[in-house]
Structure 1
Amino acid sequence: MASEGDEAPLVGRAATLAELRSDLSDVGPAGTAAVFVTGESGVGKSRLLQETADAMRAAGAAVLSGACLDIGDASPLHPVLQALRRCGPAPDAAPTGGPPDEAGALLEWVSQRLQAIAGDRPLLLVLDDLQWADRSTRQLLLYLLAGLGEVNLSVLAAVRAESLQGAHPLRRVLAELRRLRSVRVLDLAPLDQDGTRELVRAIAGEQVAAEDAERVFKRSGGNPFVAEELARDLRDGRAELSDTLREIFLARVDELPKHAHAVVHAIAAGVEPVEHPVLSRVVQLGDGELLEAVRAAVAHRFVLGEADGYRLRHRLVAEVLEQEVLPAERAALHRRYAEALEADPAADHAALAHHWQQAGEPLRALPAVVAAARDAERLYGFSEAHRYWTVALELAGEGTPETGRTELLSHAAESAYQCGEHALALARLEELAGRPDAPGVCTLHLRRAKYLAAAGRTATAETEYEKALALADCTPREKASAAAHLAELLLHLGRYADANARAREALELAELDGATADLVRASAALGFSSAFREDPDAGLAVIRHAVEIAERSGHPDDIGCAYLHLAELLTGPLNSLEEGVLVARRGAEKLAALGVGRTYQTRLLAIAANGLFRVGQWAEADRVLADAMRHRPSGADAVELLLARCRLWVGFGNEEAADRDLDAIATMLAGGGARHVLPMLTLRAGLAMWRGRHAEARAAVQRGLTETRSDDLVLLGVLAWHGLRAEAEAHASGDVPVDSAVVRRLKVVVDRMGQGAGDAAAPVRAVIDGYVELCAAELSRLEDRPDPEPWARAAATWDRRKQPYPAAYARLRQAEAALARKSRRAVAVTALRQAFETAQAMGARPFAAEISALAARARVPLTSDDTVDVGPAAPADELGVLTEREREVLAAVAEGLTNKEIGHRLFISERTVGVHVGHIFDKLQVRTRVQASRVFLRAA
C-alpha cells in the first residue's frame, strides 16, 4: 500500500472501471449482480474496489464495505457485519436486537438489514480478501445472489488468486455462482509496459530515464504495488531493495509446498526461459513430482509456464532469493545447470558461460564465453559481443596461452569500437600493440586511425592513415582500405578535393584486391565529393550504387556508411530536405535492426533532426533527438547528436541546455574536423548574440576562420553570416565597437564564397548564394544603409530553398529597414506578421520575442484581428515588452548600479544580470545603459 499522503494515481484501469460499473448495474432476474475480481497480491484489486465504490456512491448508490480476516476463529459473517456497523445505527424500519444465532434466521436478518439500509437506492456490498471468508459469509453470498433474500443488491469482491488452490471452499462457491448470468469473475492482469512507465513517472517524476522505467517494469512484472515501491526507491535514490518488498516476497515463498519451493529457487537461479528437461536435471525430482511442483508454483503466481520454458512472473523474486541462499548452495545449483546444459550440443552458450562463472569455474566458463561472443557477432549484437569479449579477458588467467590472450585483446578492441566504446577500443589496441605477437604495423595503423576517427580525433587519425599508406610492406588490400577510410575522413574535414582524389585511388586499388567494405566507402566518398563539387546527379548515382552494394553485403558497417553519406548529402549541400529526412530515418531503422543503434542509428537520426530543423519542424526534430539520446552514444556519434540538439536549444531559447551541450562538444572535439568545429563555433556565436555578448560572438567566428581549413563553402557561409550579424548587432547596441579589421576579413570570405559558388554544383551554389545574400544584407545594416530590398531578396531565396528560419529572419530585418525609412509601413506589417507566424510555429522563443519587440515599438499588430494604432507610442508601452525580472534589472540600471551590484541586490549571478541587460537592450532597441535608463525614467 502507498504510504499516507503518498497514494499513487490509478493507472491503466479506466476501461476496467467502466466495465465494473456496467456489470454491477446489469442485474439478473433475481435483481442481483456480482463481480469477483481475482488476481495476484498487489495487482490493485483493493484499489479497484475502492475507486468503483466511490464512483457508485457519487452516482447515488448505497455502499457498504467490509474485509475478511485471515484468522481461524473469525466470527460468522464478519465482513458483512463489519460493513453494517460502519453504516451506523439501523433505520427505524430495520429489525432491532443483535444477530440471531440460528443460521437461517441470521441470513434473513442480514437480508432485512441490507434492504432497510438501501431503501429506494441501488445497494453495493464491497468485500475485500474474500479468500478468507468464513462458511457463513460464503453461504450468505449464495443466498443473496440467488435472490432468496429479496433484496436488490450488487456485490463487488476481491479474491487473491494464489489462495484458491486445491479444495479451497471458495472455489466451489464461485463455480456455483458462475452459473448465474449476472455474475462475472474478472482476473485482473498486471499493468503493461506503458502503464508501468506512466505509474513510475507519476511517482518518481517526468524526468525518469526510459531505461529506469523499463527496469522497474521488468523487475515488477507490471504489479502496481511492486512498481510503486520501486518507483519510490528510484525517486528517493535508494539502490537496495526495500525491507517491505523483501519480506512480502519471502512470506509468499514460504507458503509454497516443499517441492514448489525448490522449483522457484531453481528457476530464479536459471537463465530464462528454463526448459523443462533442464529444470528436471537441476531439481532432481521424479516426473510426476516435478510437474506437480511446477503446477503449484504457477498456481501461486510465481512462475509462468510458456511454450519455450518457465519464467518467473517477477524478476524481483530472483533478487530476493539470491540473498537467502548460502554461497555453497548457489554454486552447487549453478554447477547442476552448467552440467545439464553441457550435455546438450544445442545449448545456449551464453547461459552455459553464465552458470560456469557463477559456479566458480572460470576456465570451464571461458570456451562458452568465447562461443557466446562469436554467436553475438554473427547476429550483429555488438554490445553483447563486447560484453562477452570483456568477460573472456577477465576469465583468461595464467593458464591461457599467450596467443590466446592476444586474440582475445584483438576481438575485445574491435567489439568496443563496434558498440561505440571508442576510448576503450584505443586502450585495448595499445595493449595489443605492446605484445610480442601483435598484428603487423600496417594493421595497427589502420585500426588506430579508425578508432581515432570514431572518437572524434580526426587530425590524429589522418596522420595514422598516411603512415599506413607510406609503409612499404602495406599490402594492396590494406592500401585500398587505408585510402577508402582516409577519403571518408577528408570528407568529414571538409576537404572535398582531397577526398575525391583519395576515393579514386581507393577504387583503383579495390578493383585489384579490395574488400566490399572498401568499395562501398570509397564510392560513397567519391559520390559525395563529386555531387558537391561538380555534378549532383552523377554523384548521387554513385552513392545510390554504393547503397545497393552495401545492402547486398548485409554488413552493418557497409550499410551504415552508405546511408550516412546519402542522407547527409541530401539534407545538406543538395537541400533535398524531405527526401534526406526519409532516407535518414529509413537507414536508422535498418541499422537498429542490425545491432548498431548506438553508432550508425544515432548519427542517422541526428541527420534526420537537422533536416527537420531546416524545414521548420522543430518539435518533431526534438522527438527524434530524444529517441536517439536513449542510446547514449559516444565519440563522433555523440558530437553529431549534441550539435543537432544544441541547434534546437539555441532556437528554443534554452540557454543553459545549449551551454551544457556546447561544453560537452568542445570536450570531445580534440582535433575535430570542419564539419563539427564550424557548426559548434557558429552555435556559440548565435547563442552569444541572443545574450547580447557581441564580442563573444565575434571571437567564436574568428576562431572558426582561423583554425579550420575547409572547402565547404556552405559551412563557411553560415559562419560568415553569423560574423557579420554579430558586427551589425554590436553596431546597433553601441556597447562594443565594430572591428573594421574583422569586417574586412569577413568581406574577403564572402567574396571567396561568391567566386567559389561558380564552380560548385547548382544545388550547392543556390544554398551558398542564399548566405551571400544574407551577408550582403547584414553589411547594409552594419553601414547604416537601411534598405528592405536586400532582405526581401534573401527571404525569397530561402523560401525557394524551403528553409523557413533564415527566410523569417530576413523578413524581420526587411521590416526593420522599411520602418527606418518611414515610407514602407505596409511592407513592414506584412513581413513582421509572416516572420512572427513562422517563429511561433517553430517554437523559436527568442526570435519571436525580438519580432514582438519591434512590432510593439512600431505599433504594428502581429495579427490581422488587432486594431492598428498609428499614433505615437506611450513611454509605458515601451516597458510592456519586458518581463517582471527585466523591469527589476532595468530599474537598478537606472540607479547606476553595476551588474555585480544588481546581482547582489536581486540574488542572481552577475552573468545572469548580463543576460537580462542584453535582452533589455534588444527589446528596447537601445545601445547603452544611459539610453536604457532614459527609457525607464521616461516611463516612470
Structure 2
Amino acid sequence: MASDVDTAPLVGRAELVQTVRSALLGDGAHGQTAAVFLTGESGVGKTRLLGEIGDRLRERGAVVLTGSCLDIGDASPLHPLLQALRRFDTEVSTSHARTSSAVRGLLQMFADETAGPDGAGALLERVSRGLHLIAEGRPLVLILDDLQWVDRSTRQLLLYLLAGLGDLQLSVLAAVRAESLQGAHPLRRVLTELRRLRTVRVLDLVPLGRADTETLAAAVVGRTLTADAAEQVWQRSGGNPFVIEELARDLRDGRDGLSETLREIFLDRVDALPQHAHAVVHAVAAGVEPVQHWLLAEVLRMPEDELIAAARAAVAHRLLVGADDGYRLRHRLVAEVLAHELLPAERSGLHRRYAEALTTAPGELHQARLAHHWRLAGEPTRALPAAVAAAQEAERLHGYAEAHRHWSAALQLAAEPGPLTVDRVELLENAAEAAHHCGEHARALALLEELAALRGGEPSCALHIRRARYLAAAGRSALAEEEYQRALKAGDCSPRDRASAAARLAELLLHLGRYADAGERAREALALAENVEGSATEIVLASSALGFSDACLEDPDAGLAVMRDALDTAERAGQPEDVACAYLHLAELLTGPLNVLEEGVVVARRGAERVAELGLGRTWGTRLLAIAINGLFRVGQWAEAEKVVAAALRHRPSGADAVELLLARCRLSVGYGDIEAAGRDLDAVATLLAGGGARHVIPLLTLRSGLAMWEGRHDVARQAVQRGLTESRSDDVMILSALVWHGLRAEAEAHASRTVEVDPTAVRRLRDVAERVARKSAGAARPVRSVVEGFLALCAAEVSRLDGSDPELWAVSAAEWDRRHHPYPAAYSRLRQAEALLARRSRVATAGKLLREAYRVAQGLGAVPLTSEIRELAGRARVSLDERDTPAGTRSAPAEASDDELTALTAREREVLALVAEGLTNKEIGQRLFISERTIGVHVSHIFDKLQVRTRVQASAIQLRNQRG
C-alpha cells in the first residue's frame, strides 16, 4: 500500500528519520555493519520512509542501492540486489567511471553464473567484493522494500554481510509487513538471528497520532478540516497514513461513501484470514467496542481453543487489537466494509445474539449496548426501555452528550409501529434538556416546540422559563428576556417558578451589562426563594448576579464575598449548572471590573476543568476558557492565549458559547493584524448574535472598529462606533469607555491620514458620552473606576490629536496602563507620545527611547500593525529601534552572542522556529499549532527580525545551533 508521495507530505516521522539515519551513518557507524528493519502494517508508510531516508543518506555522501522483493518465492535469486544494481547503473553519472565499471562488472557476474562451481559461499564472497569496489571507500547502504517476500539467496547474503563474514562494511535498511510474518515464515528466523547483533535494530512503525492524522489529512484536502471531518478521519483510519490520504482525497473531491480502493484492500486482508477467524472479525465489527472475550464467546458459541486461535490469527493479521478490556478493530473502516458482506438476516442474527448474551449476563446490565443491539435486531419494544435506562445512566454520570443521543434514540424508537406504551411528553422534556446541556441549542428549541404543540393550549410558566433558558444559551438574549417576563406574568406561576424566573432573569440582565436591573431582580429572587424549600439553584443564580452587581456599582469586597459564598453553596448542592454559573461570574468579575487578572485567569481555567468533569465542557467550559483568553490577552500573554483558544475550539461550541470564544479569538487576531481571520470571526459572531445584548454587541462593534482602522477604513470604524452608541444599552462603563476610545481614535486617524473628513458631530457626541461615562463611573467601585480612567486618559489624548497632539496627555495614558499592567495600550500610548514629541521637534532622544520601548513590547506580543506603525514613524524620524544604540543614536560595538540566541523570542515564536527548522511550511505549521497560515507568517517575520536573518535556512541554523548547545 504505497502512498502517493507526490501529493502528501511526510508527517509525524521526523524523529524516526533522524533515528534511522543516525543508526546507519551516525558517529562510529561507518567502518562496521549496521542494519535497521522497519516493521509495520500495510499502509503505515514504510515505503515512503525508505525513500525519504535514502535521500537523506545520499545527501550525506553515501552510496545507496534500492531494491524491492517480489512475491514469487525463490524463483528469482538475489532479485532485489540485481534490481538495485540496475537502478544504480542508470543513475550513476559518467563522471564516476570507476563506480560505473564496478556496477557493470557485478551485473555481468550475475549474468554469467548464479552459483558457479564453487557453490553459494563463493558467490556471496564475490558479491561482497563487487559491492566493495562500488563503494570506493564511501558508506554503502542497501535499502530493501517488502522484505517479507525475500528470496533464500538474499536472506543468506544479508546474514553473510551483517555477520561480518565478508570484507565489506555496509548498512542495511529494510521494510517488512508485520502481518506477513505469520507461522513459520523463514524471515522470522532470520530476524531472530539478526536481533542478536548489537548493530541491528528492529523498529515497529506505529500509526500516526491524532494531531498528525489531522495535519496529514488537512495537507491532502488543502484546508483545515472541520472538527467533525477530522474526528471521522481519525476514527476510520486508525492513524494509518495510506488510509488517511485516501479518506482525505474523498473529502477533497466531495465523494461520499467508501472508495473502491479501500474497500478492496480491506476485503483482501479479511479474505487472507484463516477460515475460522472470519467469524471473529465479523462479530467484532458488529459489536460495540471493546468486545469482551466472554461476550464474543457467547455470540459465536465456538469452543474456547478454537476461539482463541481465531482471535490470535485476526490480531496477527493486524485486523484486530487485543487488550485486557476486549477486542477492537484496528481500523473502523473494516466494520463499514464488512457491513455490506453479510445478508440482512445474518446481521440481525448477530445483533440478537449480542442482546441475548448481554441480557442474561450476571452483574450490571450494559443498557446502551442493549438498546443498540435490540434496535438493529429489529426489536424496538425491547430496545426502548434500554435506551431510556441508558439515557438516565448517562445523566447520572453528567454525560449529557451521551444522554442526548440516547434520548433521541428513544424518541425514534417510540415512533416505531407496535405495542409501545410510552409517555412522549416525558421523552421530549428529557431530550430537550439533555440537548440544552450538551450545547445543541437549536435542537433543544425544536424539541421544545414539538412539546408545546403536543400539550396544546396556552404555554405554562415552566415552559416559558425553559424556552427562555434555551434562547439565552443560543445567544438570543432579547427574546429570552421577553420569555422571562411572560413567565413572571403567567397565571399559573407558582412561588418556585416565580423565584426561578426572577433569578434567571437577573443572570441574563447581568450578561446584558445591565447591572442595576440585575441587582434589583436578584434581590427579588432571593426574597422569593426564602419561602421556597430546596431552592439552592435560585439562591446561587441570584447571589452571583447580586454579588457582581454590587461589586461593580457599590462595594467590590462585599460583592466578591457574596460570589465566593455562591460558589460554595453551588458546590455543596452539587448541581452542575449552578457550579458552572458561579465559577463563570466569579472569573468574569476578577478579570473584568476588579482587574485582578492573574487570579481571574486561574479561576477561569480551574472552573473550565471543573465543569468539564461535570459534563458541561462544551457550553460553560467554553465560556470560562474565553474569559481566560481575554485575561491573558490583556496582560500580554498572547501566545498562551492562543493555546487556550485551541483547547476551547476542541469543544466545538455553539450559540452564545461560540460567540464568547469567537470574540476572544478575534481580539487576538486584531492584535496580531490577521485581518482575514478577524473578519471571518466578526462575520460569524454577527450571524450568531440574533437579538444579542450589549455585552456582545458593543465588543463586536469595538473590534470591528479597530479592525477597520488597521485597514485604513476610518469611515467604517466611525460607523461601527456610532452604531454601538445608538443600539446598545448597558451599565458596563468599561466596555462603553473602550468603545468611545475607538470612536475618538477613528476620528484622530482620519485627521492624520487626510483620507476621510473628521466628523465634528461625531466628535462632539463621543466627548459627551465620555463625560457621561466619567460621571457614571464616579459612583462605581474603585477597581471599575480605575479601568475606566485608563480609557478616558486615552480618549483625552486622542482628542488632542485633532489640533496638535499633546505628549503630556499621552504620558499620562502610558502611566495609567503601566499601573494596570496592560502592555498593549501602554505601548500604543508611548508610540503616540513619541509622535507628538517628534512633531514638536523637541526631546528627540526621549522620543527614541519611547519608540524603542514600544517596539520591544509590540514585538514581544506579536502585534504586527502596531509594530509596523512604530517602524514607520522611526524610519521617518531616523530613529534607530536597536536597543543597543546609545541615546545619541550611534551604534555601539556589536554585542557578544549570548549563550542562548533565542532569548529574544516569545514562547510561541520558539515553537514556530522549531517547526521551521523541521522544514515545515507556514501552512503545515499553522495546522500543527491550530493557527492560521497568515498568523504563522507574522510570527516568522518577527523571528527573522529578532534573529537578524533573511531566510528560513539561516533561522533554522540558529535553532539547530542552540539545540546542540
Bin for the TM-score computed over the shorter chain: 0.7 to 0.9
When residues 21 and 674 of structure 1 are mapped into structure 2, their CA distance, relative to the original with a 3 A threshold, is closer
| Equivalent in the alignment of 1:162 | 179
Aligned to 1:11: 12
1:336 equivalenced with 2:353 (yes/no): yes
Asked if 1:68 is matched to 2:82, the reply is no
Structure 1 counterpart of 2:828, one-letter code: Y
Q: Relative to structure 2, which stretch is displaced further, 364-373 or 345-354?
A: 345-354
TM-score normalized by the length of structure 1: 0.85
1:118 aligns with 2:132: yes
Q: What is the number of equivalent residue pairs in this alignment?
A: 868
Deviation of the 1:484 alpha carbon: 1.3
2:787 maps to which residue? 767
* Structure-1 separation of matches of 2:692 and 2:390: 36
Tell whether the 8 Å contact from 1:646 to 1:658 is kept in structure 2 after alignment.
yes
Structure 2 residue aligned with 1:304: 321
Which string of whole-angstrom CA distances, capped at 9 and with x for unpartnered residues, describes residues 4-60 of structure 1? 6336426325346525753788999x9755444433222333344444555555555
* Equivalent residues of 2:73, 2:150 under 8 A apart: no
Secondary structure of the structure 2 residue equivalent to 1:380: coil
2:409 is matched with 391
1:106 matched residue in structure 2: 120
Superposed, 1:842-853 pairs within 5 Å as 842-853=861-872
Answer yes or no: is the 8 Å Cα contact 1:17–1:48 preserved in 2.
no
Shift of 1:86: 5.2
Unaligned runs of 5+ in 1: 871-940
How far apart are residue 148 of structure 1 and its match? 5.2
Q: Does 1:781 align with 2:801?
A: yes
Rounded Cα–Cα distance in structure 2 between residues aligned with 1:464 and 1:195: 47
Mapped contact 2:24–2:171 kept (Cα < 8 A):
no
Alpha-carbon displacement from aligned partner over 1:396-426 (angstroms, at most 9, x marks no partner): 1255778611011111111121112222222
Superposition deviation, residue 800 in structure 1:
0.9
Alpha-carbon distance in 1 for matches of 2:544, 2:423: 37
Measured in 2, the distance between the counterparts of 1:181 and 1:727 equals 75
Moved more, 558-567 or 152-161: 152-161
| Structure 1 residues 666-706: Cα deviation after superposition (integer angstroms, max 9, x where no partner) | 23323322211221222233333334444433333333223
Instruction: Tell whether the 8 Å contact from 1:584 to 1:604 is kept in structure 2 after alignment.
Output: yes
TM-score by length of 2: 0.83
Corresponding residue SS for 2:531: helix
From the superposition, tell whether residues 10 and 389 of structure 1 become closer, same or farther in structure 2 (CA, over 3 Å). closer
Q: Which residue of 1 aligns with 2:431?
A: 412
Pairing partner for 1:374 from 362, 379, 392? 392
Code of the aligned partner of 1:98: D
Cα deviations across residues 755-800 of structure 1 (Å, max 9, x unaligned)?
2222111111111222222223333333x25422222212211211
Partners of 1:128 and 1:159 within 8 A in 2: yes
CA distance in 2, matches of 1:582, 1:693: 38
Per the alignment, in what secondary structure is the counterpart of residue 434 of structure 1? helix
For 2:749 and 2:126, the matched residues in 1 are separated by 87
For residues 819 and 143 of structure 1, do their structure 2 counterparts lie closer, same or farther at Cα, with a shift above 3 Å needed? Answer: closer
Does the 8 A contact of 2:128 with 2:161 survive in 1?
no
Deviation at 1:80, TM superposition (A): 4.2
**Cα distance, 1:147–1:707 mapped onto 2, change above 3 Å:** closer
Letter in 2 for 1:105: G
RMSD: 3.2
Taking structure 1 as reference, are residues 471 and 195 closer, same or farther at Cα in structure 2, changes over 3 Å only? closer
Q: Within 5 Å, give how 1:559-578 maps onto structure 2.
A: 559-578=579-598
831-840 vs 603-612, which moves further: 831-840
Farther off after superposition, 506-515 or 729-738:
729-738
Aligned to 2:464: 445
Q: Deviations over 1:728-759 (max 9, x none)?
A: 34444555554444434333322222222221
Q: Which residue of 2 aligns with 1:46?
A: 47
> Which structure has the greater CA radius of gyration?
1
Q: Secondary structure at the match of 1:435?
A: helix
Contact 2:544 2:562 in 1 (8 A): yes
Q: State the partner residue of 1:796.
A: 815
Structure 1 residues 6 and 93: alpha-carbon distance in aligned structure 2, compared to 1, 3 A threshold? closer
Secondary structure, aligned partner of 2:435: helix
Q: 1:699 aligned to 2:719?
A: yes
- The answer on whether the counterparts of 1:777 and 1:791 sit within 8 Å (CA) in structure 2 is yes
Q: Name the counterpart of 2:530.
A: 511
**Structure 2: how far apart are the matches of 1:103 and 1:289?**
51
Identify which of 131, 134, 144 aligns with 2:148: 131
Instruction: Give the aligned partner of residue 673 of structure 1.
Output: 693
* 1:162 and 1:301 in contact (8 A); partners too: yes
CA contact (8 A) 1:665 1:680 kept: yes
Greater Cα shift, 91-100 or 462-471: 91-100
In the other structure, the counterpart of 1:922 is none
Cα offsets for 1:505-539 (capped at 9, x unmatched)? 22233333243222221111111111111111111
Q: Residue 851 of structure 2: which of 832, 846, 851 is its match?
A: 832
Q: Mean Cα displacement is larger for which, 731-740 or 288-297?
A: 731-740
Q: Output the CA distance in 2 between the equivalents of 1:662 and 1:814.
A: 31
- Cα offset for 1:867? 9.3
The corresponding residue for 1:469 is 488
CA distance 1:615–1:53, change in 2 (3 Å):
closer
2:570 to 541, 546, 550: 550
How far has the Cα of 1:194 moved from its partner?
A: 4.0
What are structure 2's unaligned runs of at least 5 residues? 90-100, 890-965
Instruction: Report the Cα offset of residue 801 of structure 1.
Output: 1.4
1:742-753 equivalences in 2 (<5 Å) = 742-753=762-773
Q: Answer yes or no: is the 8 Å Cα contact 2:214–2:225 preserved in 1.
A: no
C-alpha change, 1:68 and 1:691, in structure 2 (3 Å) is closer
**8 A contact 2:227–2:652 mirrored in 1:** no
Say if 1:832 and 1:109 are closer, same or farther in 2 by CA, change over 3 A.
closer
Q: Which residue of 2 aligns with 1:938?
A: none
Contact residue 486 and residue 499 of structure 1 kept, 8 A? yes
- Of stretches 367-376 and 48-57 in structure 1, the one that deviates more from structure 2 is 48-57
Q: Name the CA distance, whole Å, in 2 between partners of 1:772 and 1:45.
A: 64
Residue 267 of structure 1 and its aligned partner are, at CA, apart by 0.9
* 1:191/1:223 contact within 8 Å kept: yes
Tell me if the contact between 2:411 and 2:428 (Cα under 8 Å) persists in the aligned partners.
yes
Q: Deviation digits for residues 266-297 of structure 1, max 9, x if unmatched?
A: 11111110011211222232222111111111
* Larger CA deviation: 655-664 vs 632-641: 655-664
Q: 1:847 to 1:124 in 2, by over 3 A?
A: closer
Sort the Cα spacing of 1:825 and 1:725 in 2 relative to 1 into closer, same or farther, 3 A: same
Please state if 1:431 is matched with 2:446: no
The answer to whether the aligner puts 1:534 opposite 2:548 as a matched pair is no
648-657 or 105-114, larger mean C-alpha shift: 648-657
Q: Determine the C-alpha separation between the residues in 2 that align with 1:478 and 1:260.
A: 61
In structure 2, relative to structure 1, the CA distance for the partners of 1:654 and 1:67 (3 Å cut) is: closer
The offset of 1:640, in angstroms, is: 1.3
CA-CA distance at 1:540 after TM superposition: 1.1
**Structure 1: distance between partners of 2:745 and 2:203:** 68
Stretch moving more, 621-630 or 536-545: 621-630
* Cα distance in 1 between the residues matched to 2:711 and 2:385: 60
Which of these residues, 210, 224, 235, is aligned with residue 207 of structure 1?
Answer: 224
Question: Which piece of structure 1 moves more, 574-583 or 183-192?
Answer: 183-192
Query: Which of 247, 254, 267 is the matching residue for 1:230?
Result: 247
Q: Which amino acid aligns with 2:392?
A: R
**Is the CA contact (8 Å cut-off) linking 1:653 and 1:846 kept in structure 2?**
yes
d(CA) in 2 for partners of 1:48, 1:23: 14
Alpha-carbon deviation of 1:208? 3.5
Preserved CA contact (<8 Å) 1:442 1:471: yes
Q: Which amino acid aligns with 1:112?
A: R
Residue of structure 2 aligned with 1:480, choices 499, 513, 523: 499
- Is the Cα contact below 8 Å between 1:99 and 1:106 reproduced in 2? no
Distance 1:188 1:639 in 2: 42
* Residue among 731, 737, 742 paired with 1:722: 742
Q: CA deviation digits over 1:369-390, x for unaligned, max 9?
A: 2222122212212122112212
Who is 1:806 aligned against?
Answer: 825
Separation of aligned partners in 1, 2:38 and 2:295: 36
- In 1, Cα distance between the equivalents of 2:442 and 2:861? 38
